[in-house]
Chain A
Amino acid sequence: MATIQLRQVEKLFGEFQAVKPMDLTIQSGEFVVLLGPSGCGKTTTLRMISGLETVTHGDIYLDDRLVTWLHPSERDIAFVFQFFALYPHMSVRQNIVFPLQAVGASRETIERRLSEVVDLLRIAHLLPLKPGKLSGGDKQRVALARALVRRPAAFLMDEPLGALDAEFRESMRAEIKQLHIEQEATTVYVTHDQVEAMAMGDRIVVMSDAEIQQVGTPAEVYYDPANLFVAQFIGSPGMNLAPGTVAGDLLSLPGGNNYRIAPEWQETLSNTQNGAADVLLGFRPEAAEIHVAGELSGEVYATELHGAYKMLHVSLQEEHDVVHIRSDRQADYPIGAGVRFDLKPDMVRFFNPHTEAALLAKRPPPVSRREVVFT
């Protein structure tokens, strides 16, 4: 298994910048997810790593091998396509052994590797069939088998679960992750589904506008987003953001709310904003605790039952500045009722509204190590 390194890798299609210069190192055996909205350059990045797309500038290394200008077949990388790309005129068996035939493997090797992956993915009964006869999940397994059989240096997967129905995605997700753990295979996995990214990634590379926005573990991108884009893109709904003005150790928020700034933040906020400028206060829905004597107040705007909990839409002022608050499933909040809530101090973040970057506390707040709670 190999380390993948991108150094200032950039892609232009004519004038259009599909990937801005990007640095990224993927460790051997790591499962890295490229996550981002449609059109942000995820597929293009993956295709450049595989050699299916030529880079405009920059270099790609596999371990110490410079592969920037190598033909895809010389890179020793397997690619799993969104629509599987199983060769329709070949049987499942022929599909799986096709990569081995390319390198002229001996018949014994082919048989041995074939039976290994077939056992691993439990697809022995599919071998004589043509891909057209398979269900989506089985196609996915065969595509994975075809990738695994070669024991490549790295796996690239472009939305491999995108074509499956929701129910099946979840079990395949676990299956792929399990395979990764068993094989210790360096994997770059593209998706625009953040739940998938959170569930599978050792690290997540959040992309937007052809650029990397943040690289971090799922907990890092969730609790400590590097900027407003990541804060809002990760989580459903995303992080709550409320505009505020710093005045001494108080932050005045819409609706006449005042939030007392925790000591570790005071210096940061007064320094960067010259004591009197705007900041954005950010917190996750589960960071708010409803409490009769809460520091902040608002009015219930809408409620949604999400099964295990209830999501309150609370407007801080009139019908504006709506924040989402997670509350007990059984509590009853009539529309228009007033609510008061506190924010858990370790889950509060601040952003500069002009640069959109997250502000750092003088003494970094302890990162919550609890499980990511997610819908």
Chain B
Amino acid sequence: MTSFAETGPRTAVTEGIRVDKVNPRARLLKNIRAVVVIILALVGLIPVFAMGITAFKSRADVVAVPPKLLFEPTLEGFVFLLTDRSQLRGTTLAEAQENAEGGEPIGIFDRIALQNGQRINGPSDFILRLRNSLIIAGGSTLLSVTLGLFAAYAFSRFEIPGKDDLLFFILSTRMLPAVVVAVPLFLMYRQLGLHDTHFGMILLYTVFNLSLTVWLLKGFIDEIPREYEEAALVDGYTRLQAFFKIVLPQAATGVAATTVFSFIFAWNEYAFALMLTSNNARTAPPAIATMLGRGGIEWSAIAAGTLAFLIPVIFITFALRKHLLRGVTFGAVRQ
């Protein structure tokens, strides 16, 4: 057995750490673990990385074997993704190329299209799909978090007859695979005229998310001592004012976490979007998937689409990251 005096750290310990963790062997193990975790994280990021570079590859580079890591980046994928083009032939093509060389001012997208012998007719409907996704995911997130917040507050604070049963009932909507109800929903939406409408999709995602938001937010609100609201009540405020001025600011963390979860669900949802929308309210996920079907497979366009699709999620998560980190560990330590 070696004593701690022999194995102990060479330098003074100036951080808050448990004694068995400053032992050099423990330190070494910790570093090894850190390296392993970093490697795993890198492995996990390979698909994202591949997607990221594919989005900027030309048609030829995309299918090159072995895959090229060094290539000349091009916006071809984005042009294919975001524009509607027509193939130019014979004289029209020659004319267009001549004009371009003759110094006629054209945008970078037009130039790239022209290199492929195409002309841009207008924006593609992928932009519409992204817009639909934003409207539907944003709308349903707003609704489900707002409704969930009020419901969670009521469940947390008031005596409600059959409270436990109600909570269980709300959760039970999650107990079967959602796809099971796809056909009935499809028929119902047809009947009600909700098929392929933004409202229908917002309603659907709101309902799906409500069970999550009610339960999550109830957990957060339960953690806020009632005394704060009671103090506000005797200080001269109504229950509703106390809710907005006292409870809500303290539940911000929970609201942020719940918002991100709701948004990601609605944003990523594929099966129902495929089935219940066709054109007007079609969201990005089924649209990206159907790109596979049209003509040749435009890998770079698909990668560009997926990249564009990731951005809002990354943006929201990043914007709320401070609250999120506290939200995830909330309840573990009393503040």
Q: Which residues of A are at the interface with B, using a C-beta cutoff of 8 A? A: 50-52, 71-73, 75, 77-79, 81, 83, 85, 87-89, 98-99, 102-103, 132, 146, 150
Contact = CB atoms under 8 A, between A and B. Distances in A.
A103 B227 CA distance: 21
Contacts of A75: 234
A41 B321 CA distance: 45
Interface stretch (B91-99, B130-138, B235-243): B235-243
Main secondary structure of the interface of B (DSSP, over half): helix
Contact of A73 (B227, B228, B233, B335): B233
B233 A72 contact: yes
A73 B237 contact: yes
Contact of A50 (B234, B241, B249, B250): B234
Contacts of B227: 81, 83, 85
B232 interface: yes
Given A71-B238, A102-B237, A103-B236, A88 B231 contact: no
Contact of B236 (A87, A102, A132): A102
B20 interface: no
Contacts of A99: 235-236
A87 to B, nearest CB: 6
Contact of B234 (A77, A83, A103, A132): A77
Contacts of A88: 228, 250, 335
A81 B238 contact: no
A34 B88 CA distance: 93
Contact of A85 (B228, B238, B249, B335): B228
Contact of B238 (A73, A77, A87, A98): A73
Nearest to B224: A88
B225 A85 contact: yes
Interface string B81-104: 000000000000000000000000
B235 A89 contact: no
Given A89-B249, A102-B241, 16 more contacts: A52-B233, A71-B233, A72-B233, A72-B234, A73-B237, A81-B231, A83-B225, A85-B225, A85-B228, A85-B231, A87-B231, A88-B228, A98-B235, A99-B236, A132-B335, A150-B236
Given A79-B231, A85-B231, A87-B231, A73 B246 contact: no
A52 B235 contact: no
A141 to B, nearest CB: 16
Contacts of A50: 234
A72 B249 CA distance: 22
Nearest to A146: B235
A263 B228 CA distance: 59
